[in-house]
Amino acid sequence: MASLLLDRAFAHFVTLGRLDVHYPGGDRRAYVGGPGPRAGMWIADGETVRALLLDPALKVGEAYMAGRLRPVDCTLYDLMHVLMLNVMRRSPAGEQIFGSLRYIARTWLQNNTLRRARRNVAHHYDLDSRLYRLFLDADMQYSCGYFPTGTETLAQAQAAKKHHLAAKLHLSRPGMTVLDVGCGWGGMALTLARDYDAQVTGITLSVEQLHIARQRARAAGLDGRVRFELLDYRAVSRQYDRIISIGMFEHVGVAHYPAFFDTMRAALHPHGVMVLHSIGRREGPGVTNPWIDRYIFPGGYSPAVSEAVSAVERAGLWLTDCEIWRLHYARTIAHWRRRFAARRRQVALLYDERFCRMFEFYLVVSELAFRVQGHLNFQLQMVREIDAVPLSRDYMYAPQPVGLPDQDSVAALRA
């Protein structure tokens, strides 16, 4: 009975491409829509069939992790491409119901109090750093790279991203103080100190990231110009000439946007500049995919640009620039996905096969979210005073560093 219901659901659901489904017991059905990609899927048992009927947004990923759902004659990317493309056209009934409930509950799901925020960050960012070294670039940039020509290597794209954001900070003189909110493993902070002669404070809630960032600062001889602290953004108590935040806003939560921007406004010098880089969504306010929320980024949410901009306005900040990046993160994640696949055996030695399948699924669906489901990156530049930045944007594209480029950046740009 469950297989019959799922058969009817797929017949209604697939409007683009072709999906061949191998049901428990050996039955095989083909679902064909308009021109599009093709993929096949094997389902292990009736329990998995029932789970897919009830809550596909959560259960597809869980079934793949458990080995109870597999691609057939295609890759996981091919399979998820067909499924995610069709979700954008016609969501399954179960997903519509659960999606509505999740939207109603999203304030609670994203209630990232200090205690929950620390726990959520540890869930993902306090994994063994050797994992991240296997698929990230040498600078350990875990956010969207910048591909101005589309031909850049991963290292070039990450170096370009850092310098593009630094240009938006308008570091007009040596020695400016910069707060890096959600500093990761320290790459941006070290670049700002070395290449732009800034005095940088990086804050994170990840113990693992803090340890590595401090090690890197000492090794680079920059520990006198960069310091890293285990600190929540709500605890920032001093002012800075510049504030930058890359890939951290996704962990704030909608209910906490007023507190975030009020805190940033208070921490920004009256004539200062803040730049925020975040994942966003094209279609307006929504909810986080439940599988991503449970297994990858608990409490995380990629906001609509309108949600972020309205919060900026309510905080009394001037929005002086907004830039939208399309497909840059898809290119970035494609690099990560290939690098992860090439080192998959090493990941399995660190963790296990289930973890490998989890991470594979995460990288695949994340890349496709940017390719076919309206995800994007946005960068907001904000100031307190109307004349804090020049009248035109020309300074954002002029050579910026006031010091000599670091060797890693030079090597990346020449690679």
How do residues 156-196 score in pLDDT, each as one tens digit?
999 999 999 999 999 999 999 999 999 999 999 999 999 99
pLDDT at 31: 97
Question: If we measure between CA atoms, which residue out of 141, 203, 179 comes closest to residue 328?
Answer: 141
**Mean pLDDT, to the nearest integer, of 184-211?**
97
**Mean pLDDT along residues 10-36:** 95
Exposed (0-12), middle (13-18) or buried (19+): which is 355, by Cβ within 10 Å?
Answer: middle
d(CA 7, CA 245): 46
Average pLDDT, the chain: 92
> Is residue 112 very low, low, confident or very high in pLDDT (cuts 50, 70, 90)?
confident
Q: Is the pLDDT of residue 217 over 90?
A: yes
* pLDDT value, residue 403: 42
Write out the two tokens for 282. Answer: 């094209």
Contact call for residues 85 and 17 (beta carbons, < 8 A) = yes
Q: Within a 13 Å sphere around the CA of 252, how many CA atoms are in the beta-carbon half?
A: 29
Rounded to the nearest 10 degrees, the angle between the axes of helix 407-414 and helix 154-169 is 120
pLDDT tens, position by position, 243-294 = 999 999 999 999 999 999 999 999 999 999 999 999 999 988 988 999 999 9
Q: What is the DSSP-derived secondary structure letter of residue 406? A: P
Q: Which residues of 299-335 are buried (b: 16+ CB within 10 A; e: fewer)?
A: bbbbbbbebbeebbeebebbebbeeebebbbbbbbbb
How far apart CA 312 and CA 263 sit, in angstroms, is: 11
SS3 assignment, position 34: strand
Average pLDDT over residues 290-318: 95
Return the bridge partners of 278, or none.
378
66-75, 123-132, 188-197, 304-313: range with lowest mean pLDDT: 123-132
Burial class of residue 206 in the structure, from the number of CB atoms within 10 Å of its CB (0-12 exposed, 13-18 middle, 19+ buried)? buried
402: pLDDT strictly greater than 50:
no
Between CA 346 and CA 349 the distance in angstroms is: 5
**206 has a pLDDT exceeding 70:** yes
Residue 43 φ then ψ, to 5°: -115, 130
At 353, the pLDDT band (50, 70, 90 cuts) reads very high
For residue 15, pLDDT beyond 60: yes
Read off the pLDDT band of 90 (50, 70, 90): low
Burial of 405 (0-12, 13-18, 19+ CB in 10 A): middle
Q: With 60 as the cut, is the pLDDT of residue 98 above it?
A: no
List, in sequence order, every residue forming a beta bridge with 396; answer none if it has no partner. none
Is residue 103 very low, low, confident or very high in pLDDT (cuts 50, 70, 90)?
A: low
Among 155, 358, 68, 141, residue whose Cα is nearest residue 350:
358
Q: Does residue 361 carry a pLDDT above 50? A: yes
pLDDT band of 411, cuts 50, 70, 90: very low
Q: What are phi and psi of 331, to 5 degrees?
A: -65, -40
Say how far apart CA 57 and CA 76 lie, in whole Å: 16
Handedness of CA 5, 361, 334, 305 (dihedral sign): positive
- For residue 317, what pLDDT is reported? 98
Q: Which superfamily, per CATH, for 114-396?
A: Vaccinia Virus protein VP39 (3.40.50.150)
Mean pLDDT, range 37-54, rounded to an integer: 96
Q: Is the dihedral of CA 313, 316, 320, 325 positive or negative?
A: negative
Reported as a pLDDT band with limits 50, 70 and 90, residue 405 is very low
Please say whether the dihedral angle defined by the alpha carbons of residues 66, 72, 77 and 78, taken in this order, is positive or negative.
Answer: negative
User: In this predicted structure, which of 72-76, 80-84, 377-381, 399-403 has the lowest mean pLDDT?
Assistant: 399-403
- Of 378 and 406, the one with more pLDDT: 378
CATH 3.40.50.150 maps onto the chain at: 114-396
**DSSP conformation letters of 119-174:** HHHHHHHTS-HHHHHHHS-TT---S----SSS---HHHHHHHHHHHHHHHHT--ST
Query: Measured between alpha carbons, how far is 49 from 51 in angstroms, rounded to an integer?
Result: 5
| Phi, psi (degrees; rounded to nearest 5) at 105 | -95, 5
Residue 415 pLDDT: 35
Neighbours of 112 (CB within 10 A): 23
pLDDT for res 101 = 61
What lies within 8 Å, CB to CB, of 65 at 6+ separation is: 295, 354, 357, 358, 361
CA distance 396 to 415: 24
pLDDT at residue 307 above 70? yes
* 343-355 average pLDDT score: 97
Q: Is the pLDDT of residue 397 over 90?
A: no
Phi and psi torsions of 276, nearest 5°: -115, 125
Domain with CATH 3.30.1050 in the chain: 1-90
Instruction: State what percent of residues in the chain have pLDDT above 90.
Output: 82
Q: What is the CATH number of domain 1-90?
A: 3.30.1050
Per-residue pLDDT at 412: 40
pLDDT > 80? residue 354: yes
The DSSP letter of residue 405 is P
Per-residue pLDDT at 409:
42
